[in-house]
Structure 1
Amino acid sequence: MNPYINYILSFTTALLAYLVGWSDMYPPATATLLIFLGLTFLAHGWLAYRWKLTVSVVTEEPLLFKPVSVTLFIYLLWGLDFLYEGGIPILKILFGQPYNYRQFGFPSVHVFTVTFASFYTVYLLGLFLSTRKRIYLILYVINLAAALLIYSRAMLLFNLFASFQVWLFYTGGISRLQWAGLFVGMVVLAYGFGWMGSKRVSFENGKSYDPSLFLNIGEATSGFRNSIVPPEFFWSYVYLSSPLANFQQNLNTYPVPKPTPGLWARMINNEMLPDFISKRINRIFSTGRSDEHAIPGKPFNVSTVYSRSYCYLGWTGLVVMGLFVACVPLLYAYLLPENSYSFAGLAILNTMYFFLFYDNTIRFTGLSLQLAYPFLLPVGEWLYRRLVHPKLIA
């Protein structure tokens, strides 16, 4: 698996879901949208065929930073978040206590906590697959559970998908029985995703549990409401299909602006740089990221990796963004060092590209910063040897 195949798989699945038409709020898909996506599929298909990078799952155990010690360190960081919050998010929700996930996390440290914890979770699975030592599987589950403790469906979903990529690296393929197991797992995950979402929305509306609330928000069609499909699955359907519907809404309604140097600079800053950088640049120049012109009156405001580029520069922005999306994996593959962490970096890159159908995950610090750890961790190990244990230097 490589980033380009993941891009094609996710956009194709999202497009098929969009065309099913289970929501009355969606605009019809136009030929313009289908042609644009088709051209990107052709480009990414060719790049997937030309992809040369292969990685091996780690085969040696770490000598310096023992996984048990690293896991304790990670949970120490989570402890800072919990102290700052005044409780553990999942418990606050279950016991009906006030909680705002947008304000969760110890300032300045939380970004490192989330990204390093996620990267190390993926790394631990590779360590287990290569050594078959049960302790690493236990540590993997312990680190994976952090996403549940902070009640972050996004973090859980990203970590599980990156773990699946690592498993594909290790096995090299999927048997029919494994495909069946994967399908069952995806169904369970989709149901759980919907249950957690319905629980949160019910909590915000002062109810114990009412899945119909989200059906009303997403304007589920009578065909879906009367079907045998449980209402919890409507969450996955909307999250899968609404980004393309919003992209179509942009193409239908947003007037194409005239390109200017200022719009070029804003697009490059806000769509091509990690958001922890772009937000600081925006504060310096008292500007911000362009709004997405999503379906009005709805909370579903994500619209794939492409919509905001269209808002900045029209079709010029779409073409430039399409080229940028195509080039990022080539650059990362060229720069990625060969070490014990490189397989996790590629798994994160694949995850990032799978979720481009949803939003611009290239700029999302929660994923993009993880790409730096295969470069940074070997440097940290070298510094540790040099400063703490100089005798370990060969």
Structure 2
Amino acid sequence: MQKKIMLNPFSIFFIIILGILLTYSLSWSTFNEPLTVPMMLFLTFILITLLLFSKIFNRTFPEGTFVKRSFRINLIPWTLLAILSMAAEFVYEKAIPIIEILVLKSGYEYTSFGGIPGFHVFAVTFVSFLGLYCWQLFLEEKRWYLLLLSVLFVSFPIMLFNRGGFIMNLSSMFFIFLLHKRTMVIKLKYLSAFVLVLILLLYAFGIFGNIRSDSENAAKDITDSSFILRVGQATEEFKNSPVPDPFFWAYLYASTPIANLQYMTENIEPSNNLTLFITQTVFPDFIGKRVEEKIGRTVQQDQRRSPVFNVSTMFISSFKTLGFLGMLLTYFYFIFFVFLYSYMMKHMHTTKIIGIAILCTIAIFNMFDNMLVFSGLSFQLVYPILFWIYKKL
């Protein structure tokens, strides 16, 4: 049986919020207290309206709108630029984090890798985007050198020991695949393979978490998750369950954003500052920070359930500046941005599949942070526009 895929950022956002709420309800950590009435009402409103906007999106951009094949360019100069960008970052820092940590075991602190000032954001986002472009070309042409280039470039974040950036790239690759296929044959073996790959990725995520956070014990046993069980306040229910301990990392990363958001809405008094709302939720982070430095104002610090977990959804900065009104404004700004950018992609016949795939990835990770202002991901949205300008010129 074949089933048509009607993929859009709103349906993805709906599935992610619902999935996180179901995960949150497992109560495997004492961090996750029952949701308050205001939080339940807010999330229910978001879920209902996302279904509405998903339907509007599918009518506005019907099937086939974004699947026109990409334009072909000479990859050699772009490949050289990407490789030189990666090399320049490593030379500047005098280290390749993943080798320092896993091979040399030199005690290198991965958080110290800042890259070349002013260049790092371009390097990470351009290399990742080029990897996505090579992946799209591979799906169209089935040339294996394109697959090798794609794997090399989308793996740049993992070379920096950045699990989040790597998972974001994998997410965009998955959405490019779905948009490229347009239809999928639903078979048990495909479903089983997807579940197996997902389980392996979540397990690997936990193993990397053990290595990053407790390298001394991880050197002896990489499956030793005692650190995260302790700081994540795992309940006896989880400890006695058959679920392997490394999966607790994925559970916490999925559930603590809601826990932190609820905790802060109960313990923070909004500043009611429109300027800070704009710098925190509209401007890209590298611009917003500079504006705040100029005006001499900063947003108040987070108050989290635990200092170890600092993610708290796309809504927390807007709550700290304008309360629940700010959360609603941030949500509708996201809706507006998706429709505007999708309209632009509809008329830019270059890499629009990649643009929509990145929007879907943003929708997923909005439940961890505001991805529209996080330049490490959102800046990738600039390249489809630049490729369109390049084509015109």
Q: Match of 1:45?
A: 51
Equivalent-residue separation in structure 1 for 2:80 and 2:300 (angstroms): 40
* Contact 2:175/2:357 (8 A) holds in 1: yes
| Partner SS, residue 25 of structure 2 | helix
- 1:327 Cα shift? 1.4
Deviations 1:258-308 (A, max 9, x none): x3xxx011011111111111011112122223322221x431121111122
Identical aligned residues as a percent = 30
- 1:25 Cα shift? 2.2
- 1:122 Cα shift? 1.4
Q: Quick one: structure 1 residues 306 and 138, their matched pair in 2 at CA, closer, same or farther if it must change by over 3 Å?
A: same
* Contact 2:96/2:160 (8 A) holds in 1: yes
Q: Match of 1:17?
A: 23
- 1:69 Cα shift? 4.0
Equivalent-residue separation in structure 1 for 2:35 and 2:323 (angstroms): 18
Residue 82 (structure 1) aligned with residue 96 (structure 2): no
1:326-337 aligned at under 5 Å gives the runs 326-336=335-345, 337=347
Equivalent-residue separation in structure 2 for 1:374 and 1:245 (angstroms): 36
| Partner SS, residue 288 of structure 1 | coil
Q: Match of 1:321?
A: 330
Normalised to the residue count of structure 1, the TM-score between the two structures is 0.90
Counterpart code for 1:41: L
Out of 194, 202, 222, the residue aligned to residue 236 of structure 2 is 222
Out of 161, 174, 180, the residue aligned to residue 192 of structure 2 is 180
Counterpart code for 1:323: F
Q: Identify unmatched segments of 5+ residues in structure 1.
A: 384-394
* Contact 1:166/1:347 (8 A) holds in 2: yes
Equivalent-residue separation in structure 1 for 2:130 and 2:67 (angstroms): 14
* Contact 2:348/2:385 (8 A) holds in 1: no
- 1:255 Cα shift? 3.1
| Partner SS, residue 357 of structure 1 | coil
Q: Quick one: structure 1 residues 224 and 363, their matched pair in 2 at CA, closer, same or farther if it must change by over 3 Å?
A: same
Q: Identify unmatched segments of 5+ residues in structure 2.
A: 1-6
- 1:254 Cα shift? 2.1
Between stretches 44-53 and 168-177, larger displacement belongs to 168-177
Aligned residues: 376
| Partner SS, residue 44 of structure 2 | helix
Counterpart code for 1:11: I
Q: Quick one: structure 1 residues 191 and 344, their matched pair in 2 at CA, closer, same or farther if it must change by over 3 Å?
A: same
- 1:38 Cα shift? 1.1
Equivalent-residue separation in structure 2 for 1:204 and 1:69 (angstroms): 43
* Contact 1:58/1:130 (8 A) holds in 2: no
Between stretches 329-338 and 341-350, larger displacement belongs to 329-338
Residue 309 (structure 1) aligned with residue 318 (structure 2): yes
Residue 274 (structure 1) aligned with residue 284 (structure 2): yes
Equivalent-residue separation in structure 2 for 1:49 and 1:206 (angstroms): 47
Q: Match of 1:169?
A: 179
Q: Match of 2:116?
A: 106
